[in-house]
Amino acid sequence: MKVRGTVRPPGDKSISHRALMLAALARGTSQLEGLLTGADVKSTARVLRQLGVDIAPIRDSGTVTVHASRISHPASRLHCGNSGTTARLMLGILAGQRFPATLTGDASLRRRPMRRVTEPLRTMGAEITEGRGDALPLTIRGGRLHSLTYATPVASAQIKSALLLAGLTGGVAVTIREPYRSRDHTERLLAHLGLGLHERDGAIVYEPPSSRDARAVVPAFQLSVPGDASSAAFLVGAAALAQGGELVIENVGVNPTRTGFLVVLARMGARVERVNLRDAGGEPVADLVARPGALRATEVTAAEVPTLVDEVPILAVLASRAEGETVFREVGELRVKESNRLELIAANLRALGVEAEARGNDLHVCGTTRPPRGRVDTARDHRLAMAFAVLGTVLGADVRLSERASVAISYPRFFADLKSIRDGGRGTRDG
């Protein structure tokens, strides 16, 4: 199969959530362009509407207008769908409100840990009642918060962002240290809006102005959301595995806290260039030019993991076509993503004839030249579906996916885009 043409990945999921949330807390009307239309971002919009924010429908083209007014007590439970970012960041926003709200989610989200966020929020003074232990549903009643200095045990942008948003809505200072730097979109957006965010001795510090009312401090804004590097990674992966050709992926966010996969791919011998580097609302953006290359194995270090945490599925797929054994160190966090990605990556690779194994918190993948053939259980996890669909594009492959609909979470047009960049070759099928 050869690749060809030009694609634009959908809007960045992380930035879309944050843009909607900050617009909802702002004073006045904000205009957001390029928002992701995926189901996760729609979950954030739905929850914010339940809290009284007026958000125009999120459609493929055009600008979304957000009219903010003071957020208020919801009439029913806040359903966060499949979206961990919605649940965890909203807990931060709700920690600064004086009304109770109950959050829940789908079966996958209700299995994901929440104490990583609720414990520090409790320390700040939020009252949180658990329905079922360390999981959703949860009821939170915010109020008068205290400032917090916190070292997170996990490098997680969701934890960090929840605490920064609690500082913002509660009008208190928050200082956070993380073991490794996770994606910094919240920090960049707060700084871009002129809110009190800075770095001090390696810690991230939010300092409120003298007013305790967050609405008084968040200005209405306009933002153009860049394309999602994590979605682009699947297209880059398809190009790397092709027999020839060249693929241009336009308007990709290349924030270094998100592009660890490009660093690892360069080590593996893939050829990806960044061109037209520019800035969009405090975020670096570029076009990527990706070409096929002979891949070799590598070791992904623990420090690199936060910069590529959502790209482990596609990198593991690429490792299965590389020469030698690739090791991903300290990827235990993958157990608590939309599925148990650590076990499912390994099990699905094995189902396709690849040697792969989770050993403790490390993932080992041995490359092969044999065509992958067999059935993949995606567990309705969008990133597993996309990664294995890419593996299904190699010559002689016969990859059957248990479902394909989950791609709507982060990349609704994924299968259409994957088809459009291919010149010959067969696709994956449901099975």
Which residues within the stretch 113-172 sit at the binding site for ligand S3P (CB under 6 A)? 156-158, 161
> CB under 8 Å to 196, separation ≥6 — which residues?
190, 206, 207, 208, 209
C-beta of 161 vs 251, nearer to ligand S3P: 161
Strands (E), 34-89: 54-55, 63-68, 78-79
In the complex, minimum distance from the CB of residue 18 to ligand S3P, in angstroms, rounded to a whole number: 7
What contacts 18, CB < 8 A, 6 or more positions away?
89, 161, 185, 186, 189
Taking the C-alpha atoms of residue 38 and residue 102, their distance in angstroms, rounded to an integer, is 23
Active-site residue, selected from the candidate residues 12, 184, 287, 310: 310
Dihedral sign from CA coordinates of 116, 117, 120, 123: negative
Please identify, using beta-carbon distances, which residue of 26 and 331 lies nearer to ligand S3P: 331
Binding status of residue 82 toward ligand S3P by CB under 6 A:
no
Tell the smallest beta-carbon distance from residue 19 to ligand S3P (Å): 12
261/9 Cα distance (integer angstroms):
16
| Closer residue to ligand S3P (CB): 283 or 310 | 310
Cα distance between residue 152 and residue 16, in whole Å: 24
Told to check if 417 binds ligand S3P by CB under 6 A, we report: no
User: How does strand 362-366 pair with strand 325-328?
Assistant: antiparallel
Binding flag, residue 310, ligand S3P (CB under 6 A): yes
Minimum separation from the CB atom of position 100 to ligand S3P (A): 25
Give CA 23 to chain center in angstroms: 19
Q: Cβ(159)–Cβ(185) under 8 Å? A: no
257 binds ligand S3P (CB under 6 A): no
Q: Please, which of residues 12-51 interact with ligand S3P by CB under 6 A? A: 14
Q: End-to-end CA distance of the chain: give it in Å, rounded.
A: 22
Q: How far is the CB of 84 from ligand S3P (least distance, A)?
A: 6
Q: In angstroms, what is the minimal distance from the CB of 116 to ligand S3P?
A: 8
Q: How far is the CB of 163 from ligand S3P (least distance, A)?
A: 12
279 is a catalytic site residue:
no
Which of 40/287 has CB closer to ligand S3P? Answer: 40
Nearer to ligand S3P, 88 or 321 (CB): 88
Binding ligand S3P (rule: CB under 6 A), the pick from 309, 314, 358, 389 is 309
Instruction: For residue 368, give the 3-state DSSP assignment.
Output: coil
Q: Return d(Cα 259, Cα 207) in angstroms, integer.
A: 29
In sequence order, the 6+-apart residues with CB closer than 8 A to the CB of 76 are 50
Closest CB 366 distance from ligand S3P, rounded Å: 26
Which residue in 52, 152, 134 sits closest to 93, CA to CA? 52
Interaction of residue 86 with ligand S3P, rule CB under 6 A: no
**Are 36 and 9 contacting, i.e. CB atoms less than 8 angstroms apart?**
no
Q: Which of residues 165-204 bind ligand S3P (CB under 6 A)?
A: 182-183
Place of tokens 């194994």: 357
Total residues found in the chain within this entry: 431
What SS3 class is residue 172?
A: coil
Q: Which of 7/36 has CB closer to ligand S3P? A: 36
Q: Judged by CB under 6 A, how many residues of this single chain contact ligand S3P? A: 10
Choice from 16, 50, 85, 307 touching ligand S3P (CB under 6 A) = 85
Which residues are CB-contacts of 210 (< 8 A; sequence separation ≥ 6)? none
Cβ proximity to ligand S3P: between 182 and 348 the closer is 182
Q: Which amino acids are annotated catalytic? A: 310
Residues forming contacts to ligand S3P in the complex (CB under 6 A) are 14, 85, 156-158, 161, 182-183, 309-310
